[in-house]
Structure 1
Amino acid sequence: MKYLPIDNKLFIKNRKNFTAKMKPSSLAVFNSNDIYPISADSTMPFEQHRDIFYLSGVDQEESILVLFPDCPKEKHREILFLKETNEHIAVWEGEKLTKDAAFKTSGIKTVYWLQDMEKVMFELMTQCDTVYINTNEHYRASVETETREDRFTKWLKDKYPAHSVAKSNPILQRLRSVKDKVEIDLLQQACNITEKGFRRVLGFVKPGVWEYEIEAEFMYEFLRNRSKKFAYTPIIASGNNANVLHYIENNQQCKKGDLILLDVGAEYANYSSDMSRTIPVSGKFTKRQKEVYNAVNRVKNEATKLLIPGTDWAEYHVEVGKLMTSELLGLKLLDKADVKNENPDWPAYKKYFMHGTSHHMGLDTHDYGILTEPMQANMVFTVEPGIYIPAEGFGIRLEDDVVIQKKGEPFNLMRNIPIEADEIEDIMNS
């Protein structure tokens, strides 16, 4: 891992919060992700399952976490199973967690090698009534691959069919959506790295550069600041490419007079940042571009103020829609007849702003959070309105990551990243 060590008090606290929500005489199991093959002997870079990381800090394949708070044996109330390391593995693959290193990382004292898992699990299963399995119930999830977690769940239910089964996900959705101070600091670090990348790009962009060259400038700055990668596939969309919401080819040349929509973010310690900025290739917005840009920025600023404890996510989007409608009327993209005759299920503003304004942020870019429950302090949301005008050859999206506060406006984790049109022009022309 490139990131600095995280105080294991975070993971100890996370486990305590999780086990407090478990049923009596119950056990919960969490697995690492697989290392996925590409072809021949090639594999994709390992990405840890965010749930086992959240509860243990273990960032290594072939790891299993077991939580059994009512276990008669105190030492079995928290267990890590790890792939056994040795000198041969250290030479060929690099150093893996030893039992002592796993304790320092997680705060879990009982660590077994993976080959002992079935034997230990048999003992544990004779002592519990309910097993919590970990299913992916995120509202955007679409998983076609059988995961290591899926295979383990099949094995467990087949071997122990008489046990009751419960779901970990509803507990984790609520816990992970409200961030600890340590988590907010890690998110801030991810945003700070993103800022460095953006400032680098502002000094780099000029007519004739290619979108992939801009992507490379971000990646350079991310890697040299302890981020292993983009938090998600970056969007570097010049000209009309910006009107394709998930444009990721990043293979076109940036032309004089065009805008570039940048939707990029660095990860840090598995925590994601998510930034959108739109900048002029030539270093200066046209009058019309700036008009639309400032309209988007006003919507973002006003939408941010609505993110307070108790806000309903669906109602919030209705209110943002009203803000956007007003701006689109001012830009003469809509007229009063468009609004009067709009379809309530697809309001008139959706012609130019067709996506949502905010989503949870955290270990995942689209993080855990139950959207039917009111917003709470220390939840982290994006704010990302946009206006997309194919007929005029550009689209603009602006996005910050903010922390909901107990009182007052949210705290902007991207407060230091330039966003005002005049400031961007000044930096690009300095």
Structure 2
Amino acid sequence: MFKSTLFLSVLLLLSVNELQAQLTFEKEEYATRREKLMDRIPDGIAIIRGASEPLGDVAFTQYNNMMYFAGVEIPDAILIVDGERRKSTLFFTITEEHADGENISLDLVRDPVKITGIEHYLPYEDFSETLTNRLTGSTVIYTPFSPEEYIGENSMEKFNKFKRSVTDNEWDGRLTREMQFVAVLNQRFPENKVENCTPFIWELRKIKSKAEIDIIRQAAQLSVAAHKAVMKATRPGVPELELAALFQQVTMSGGAKGLAFGTIIMSDKNHAYGHYMQYDRILGEKDFIILDGGANISNYASDVSTTFPANGKFTETQREIYEMGMFVRQICQSMYRPGVSLTEIGNAVKAELEKMGLDTADPKYRLWIRDGGYNHSIGMAVHDRMLNFDRGEPLQAGFVFACDIMGKADDVTGIRIEDTVVITEDGCEILSVGLPRTIDEIEAFMKNN
């Protein structure tokens, strides 16, 4: 009897684990997100479209919003989240043979309702008829107006670049995929209002759950391993390209889904460019390097920066600017907690610098004082979006962001000391903990290079 009960328990456990393996999170996590979106659209439905199959021979990657609300990596999926009727419907069509070739779960394809927890499933071909039949004269159609994000993309930055080079180009003029969809909705359903649900989604994505934070922590720790590997491999005579390749090799072999953004390596005159990715120098004896890179795990990003000398030994100029950056970093991170605003933290940094007799009106101190070390939020995009964020707004538990301390001593001596940080119930956690950060730690770590 005991053996049979144990056997059944093992089978049940394997079955549960198999179901959970189809999605990044448990079904309840996605259901809660959809319910929160429903709360914001009680007068209508939200249409979330997934990414289409790539035109080239590259692996399919899902849009972040589809991953956020449904967790399915299937091309051309559509999700309707119904705020009026409090239910959701997932649309997709894919053959088992195609799914198997793309490493898509066959269980997901065969029984999407059971695997995802979404109430209804229909083939992609049924979307138009279903939408037409669902709409009443008063139903509002919500859909994101902002461009959707792939891994390594940030929606508003993507929008601004597209607008500049395509929409506003007199020889082009095309709309984004999202705004073209809006135009078609307005044309086909003139009686229904079409509204932007991007702000609602950004607001939901602003505060991370424990499950999300756990994955961001994994991504941050993988980034730490990659930074340490690059620091160990750095010495005069090493090409930057070799270091960039090493960073990617460590992250990908460690389980990353991709890079959170293009790895930044700046040395010598390239300190003038905030996001230099050309890898066109061979490191010299006097070079001071900024490495800014992060891993993406399961569609969640991390962002970490380190600064160190190519030869493993700080000069006086490098030492002075670096120690000042670490001083500012310590003030900021000691104050991060719920209820405190970034403006307050920035003012505290300013007061400490003035105690040292520094002229805080000098532009070179602007980045240290501004926003209390805050640079951007982090989540499914490395520059994760949020609605109407105000630096005077009190910090909340679950807010993940980059504490990014930057400064310059001269044209070839800049620093970037950046951590991925989450606000906790009683303070903060440095998710990217584990790097050699002090000058003594860095010099000892690089001593045998």
The answer to whether the superposition gives a TM-score over 0.5 is yes
CA contact (8 A) 2:93 2:124 kept: yes
Deviations 1:276-317 (A, max 9, x none): 001111122123312211111111121223433334455655
Residue 269 (str. 1) matches residue 269 (str. 2): no
Aligned residue identity for 1:163? N
CA contact under 8 A between 1:352 and 1:388: conserved in structure 2?
no
Structure 1 residues 315 and 60, CA, compared in 2 at 3 Å: closer, same or farther? farther
Match of 1:60 among 60, 64, 74: 74
The answer to whether 1:375 aligns with 2:395 is: yes
SS of aligned partner of 1:153: helix
Of residues 20, 33, 38, the one that matches 1:14 is 33
Q: CA deviation at 1:91?
A: 7.0
TM-score normalised according to structure 2 size = 0.81
**2:249 is equivalent to residue 235 of structure 1:** no
Identity of paired residues, percent?
A: 27
Q: Return closer, same or farther for 1:64/1:230 CA change in 2, 3 Å cut-off.
A: same
- The structure with the greater share of residues assigned to helix is 2
* Residues 43, 154 of structure 1: alpha-carbon distance in 2 compared, 3 angstrom cutoff: farther
Aligned partner letter, 2:385: Y
Letter in 1 for 2:253: R
Residues 367, 405 of structure 2: 8 Å contact kept: no
Aligned to 1:70: 84
Q: CA RMSD in A?
A: 3.0
Give runs of aligned pairs for residues 219-258 of structure 1, distance below 5 A.
Answer: 219-258=248-287
What are the within-5 Å matches in structure 2 for residues 243-322 of structure 1?
243-313=272-342, 316-317=345-346, 319-320=348-349
Distance 1:4 1:11 in 2: 10
Q: Does 1:396 align with 2:415?
A: yes
CA contact (8 A) 1:275 1:399 kept: yes
**Contact in 2 for aligned 1:313/1:371 (Cα 8 Å):** no
The residue number in structure 2 matching 1:385 is 405
Closer/same/farther in 2, CA of residues 4 and 195 from structure 1, 3 Å limit: farther
Matched, 1:48 2:65: no
Letter in 2 for 1:390: D
| TM-superposed deviation, 1:48 | 2.5
**Paired position in structure 1 for 2:214:** 185
Give the drift of 1:83: 3.1
SS state at 1:216 partner = helix
| C-alpha deviation, 1:70, in angstroms | 2.9
CA distance in 1, matches of 2:23, 2:81: 26
Instruction: Return closer, same or farther for 1:374/1:156 CA change in 2, 3 Å cut-off.
Output: farther
CA displacement 1:356-402 (0-9 Å, x = unmatched):
742111111011223135431110111111112334x2211100011
Shift of 1:99: 3.6
The 2-side partners of 1:95 and 1:80 are apart by 16
Cα-to-partner distance string for 1:293-348 (whole Å, 9 max, x where unaligned): 11111111212234333344556555555556777x6xxxxx64xx5xx4xxx845
SS at match of 1:359: strand
TM-score, with length taken from structure 1? 0.84
Cα–Cα, structure 1 residues 100 and 374, in superposed 2: closer, same or farther, change >3 Å?
farther
Which position in structure 2 is the counterpart of 1:33? 51
Instruction: Give structure 2 stretches of 5+ with no counterpart.
Output: 1-20, 148-154, 167-174
User: Does the Cα contact within 8 Å between 1:277 and 1:398 map onto a contact in 2?
Assistant: yes
Deviation at 1:3, TM superposition (A): 10
Cα gap change, 1:113 to 1:325, in 2 (>3 Å): farther
Q: Secondary structure of the equivalent of 2:376?
A: coil
The residue type equivalent to 2:63 in the other structure is H
How far, CA to CA, are the matches of 2:382 and 2:367 in structure 1? Answer: 26
Unaligned runs of 5+ in 1: 330-334
**Of 93, 96, 99, which aligns to 1:83?**
93
**How big is the shift at 1:100?**
3.8
Q: Is residue 359 from structure 1 mapped to residue 376 from structure 2 by the alignment?
A: yes
Tell me, in whole angstroms, the C-alpha distance in 2 between the residues paired with 1:8 and 1:192.
26
Task: Give the letter for the 2:73 counterpart.
Answer: D
Q: 2:237, 2:133 → 1: CA distance?
A: 66
**1:157-194 deviation line (CA, Å, top 9, x unaligned):** 21111113333122222211100000000101101111
Task: Give the letter for the 2:408 counterpart.
Answer: Y
Question: 2:131 corresponds to which letter in structure 1?
Answer: M
Aligned length: 404
Counterpart Cα distance in 2 of 1:119 and 1:4: 28
User: What is residue 349 of structure 1 aligned with on the other side?
Assistant: 365
SS of equivalent residue, structure 1 residue 67: strand
Aligned-partner Cα distance in 1 for 2:277–2:103: 33
- Do 1:35 and 1:44's aligned partners in 2 also have CA atoms closer than 8 Å? no
Question: Given residue 70 of structure 1, which amino acid in structure 2 is its aligned partner?
Answer: E
Letter in 2 for 1:415: V
Instruction: For 1:382, give the aligned amino acid.
Output: A
2:195 aligned with 1:175, yes or no? Answer: no
Inter-partner Cα distance in structure 1 for 2:429 and 2:212: 14
For 1:307 and 1:198, how far apart are their aligned partners in 2? 24
Residue 126 (structure 1) aligned with residue 136 (structure 2)? yes
Deviation at 1:271, TM superposition (A): 0.4
- In structure 2, the residue matched to 1:332 is none
Distance 1:375 1:180, change over 3 A: same
